[in-house]
Amino acid sequence: MPGFAIQFLDVALLLYAFLVNFVVSTTLAAVTALNPVALRGLSKDLPVRVGDVEQLDSEAASQRLSLIFAQKGSLLLAVGAAFDLLHRLGVPLAFHVVLIIAFVLIVVLIQGLLVRWLAIRDPRGSLAWSAGISRFISTPFIPIAVVVGRVLQAVPEDSVISEEEREEREDNEVEALIEVGEREGLLEEEEGEMMRGIVDLDETVVREIMTPRADIVALPVESTVAEARRTVIEAGHSRLPVYRGSIDHIMGILYARDLFRAWEKNGDSWTLENLVRRAAFVPETASAAVLLSGMRQKRPIAMVIDEYGGVAGLITLEDLLEEIVGEIHDEHETVEELIRSEDGWSVPAATSIQDVEKLFEIDLGPRGFDTIGGLVVSTFGRVPLVGEEITTRGISVRVLAADSRRVRRVQIRPMGTDEGASSDDD
């Protein structure tokens, strides 16, 4: 074959290799940009290419591996063609490597920027024209991809990543799916928030959502039926703990319906000890997700105990459901709202640290408390007076209402990063 023809063939192979790399890279970038939910939606929008899209969305991952092999193979083909072309043009061997690396880097950089621009700008359109071509190009590499995929699957996942890393990765994948579902109109915003609540529930411990000990309405076992009836009506709760001596010694749970049925039959002659039902106890470090499953099948209320066996709080099925669907307000409840002003937010001291972090998009770091009131008391080392203020990690917290035992309400406002950081050092 004449030298000119071979040089022409080398140039043709170079162009072919870069074209293959461009098409396959576009497909991979578009698949990454769309995520599985959008891919399934795309397969419905483009019935002609349903097979192509579903193959790319395959859980077996052999199709994606074959695409990666095709992408890398095209680069090797380009390097080989360039090397042969330079050799036939009489370029000294010492310059071959330098020229090839420079050429490949320039082309790949320009191509990478173009691919990224196309995939981000219009991933659906990019995948629509590239999926079928990429599937055809990568078909010869599928047997290799299947073998490599099986080898990778044989490696125990625990030896590659830790349990914590795997859970974080799974949570990130679920969050990505929720975001795609909302963006594509497959999920309403409220549905997305509920799904996030379900995911977060697995990482939530009982201590973070329980009614704290100080807010528990309970009855001493010596109370008369009349006193118990009055307390139930005033508190507006359908179940109340009953204790002997102190709240750390819970006798059981008094159900309002049991109380009123007994009162209707025999008036005030009953004693609470005869009316209470057995109480359930859970540690404050228990998983909220596990507890939700147990409460659905058994008791809808449980006493929360600390590491020393004392009562730390109380949790109900409603508390757990609120983590998924949001606040559920009964008719008798006084709703303590988050009030926005020019200076920031006025919030109840019982507002969770997680809610504050989401509201101000900050990270308050490791902590031994669950509420913004707990942060204030922990920082001062005492119950602060009304008007006292702290600054920490980019926010300023001022006490609006407090008594001798606890903070009731605070005002939070964002601070400059430098100012918040300097306050921490003080």
What whole-number distance in Å separates Cα of residue 182 and Cα of residue 234?
43
The CATH superfamily holding the domain 206-325 is CBS-domain (3.10.580.10)
What whole-number distance in Å separates Cα of residue 13 and Cα of residue 20?
10
Q: Percent of the chain having pLDDT more than 90?
A: 17
**Topology adopted by domain 339-425:** 3.30.465
What whole-number distance in Å separates Cα of residue 263 and Cα of residue 240?
16
DSSP 76-101: HHHHHHHHHHHHHTT--HHHHHHHHH
Give the number of other CB atoms < 10 A from CB of residue 117.
Answer: 12
List the beta bridge partners of residue 319. Answer: none
Check residue 313 and give its pLDDT: 94
Q: Pick the range with the lowest mean pLDDT from 60-64, 71-75, 129-133, 256-260.
A: 60-64
pLDDT at 33 over 90: no
> In the block, which residue shows the tokens 């001596």?
245
Q: What angle in degrees, to the nearest 10, is found between the helix axes of 93-121 and 62-88?
A: 140
CA dist 380 → 342, 364, 416 (Å): 26, 16, 22
**Residue 331 dihedral angles phi and psi, to the nearest 5°:** -60, -35
Tokens of 278: 């057995």
Q: Over range 249-254, report the average pLDDT.
A: 94
Are residues 268 and 250 in contact, defined by beta-carbon separation less than 8 angstroms?
no
CA dist 119 → 18, 186, 287, 366 (Å): 17, 21, 41, 39
What whole-number distance in Å separates Cα of residue 286 and Cα of residue 294?
12
Degrees, nearest 5: CA angle 225-231-235: 150
Residues of the chain by 3-state class (helix, strand, coil), percent to 5: 60, 15, 25
Residues 196-225 pLDDT 10s: 788 788 788 898 889 989 889 999 999 988
Tokens of 147: 């073998």
What whole-number distance in Å separates Cα of residue 131 and Cα of residue 119?
12
What whole-number distance in Å separates Cα of residue 272 and Cα of residue 255?
10
Q: How is the chain split into domains, by residue range?
A: 3-154, 163-201, 206-325, 339-425
Task: List CB contacts of 32: < 8 A, sequence separation 6 or more.
Answer: 119
**Residue 20 dihedral angles phi and psi, to the nearest 5°:** -60, -45
Check residue 239 and give its pLDDT: 92
Which ranges constitute the DSSP H helices of 364-416?
372-380
Q: Over range 336-341, report the average pLDDT.
A: 70
Residues 355-411 pLDDT 10s: 888 888 888 877 677 788 888 988 888 889 999 999 887 889 999 998 888 888 999
pLDDT at 250 over 60: yes
- 361 by Cβ neighbours in 10 Å (0-12 / 13-18 / 19+) ranks as exposed
Check residue 304 and give its pLDDT: 95
The pTM is what?
Answer: 0.54
**Residue 131 dihedral angles phi and psi, to the nearest 5°:** -60, -50
Tokens of 128: 């629509």
What whole-number distance in Å separates Cα of residue 314 and Cα of residue 213?
7
Tokens of 218: 């309970």
Are residues 149 and 60 in contact, defined by beta-carbon separation less than 8 angstroms?
yes
List the beta bridge partners of residue 282. Answer: 304
What whole-number distance in Å separates Cα of residue 311 and Cα of residue 189?
38
Check residue 334 and give its pLDDT: 52
Task: List CB contacts of 64: < 8 A, sequence separation 6 or more.
Answer: 28, 31, 56, 58
**Residue 290 dihedral angles phi and psi, to the nearest 5°:** -65, -40
Which ranges constitute the DSSP H helices of 314-366?
317-325, 353-360
Check residue 129 and give its pLDDT: 78
Are residues 255 and 281 in contact, defined by beta-carbon separation less than 8 angstroms?
no
Average pLDDT, the chain: 78
First to last CA, the chain: 82
**Residue 414 dihedral angles phi and psi, to the nearest 5°:** -70, 145
Q: How crowded is the C-beta side of 223, counted as CA atoms within 13 Å? A: 24
**Residue 232 dihedral angles phi and psi, to the nearest 5°:** -60, -45
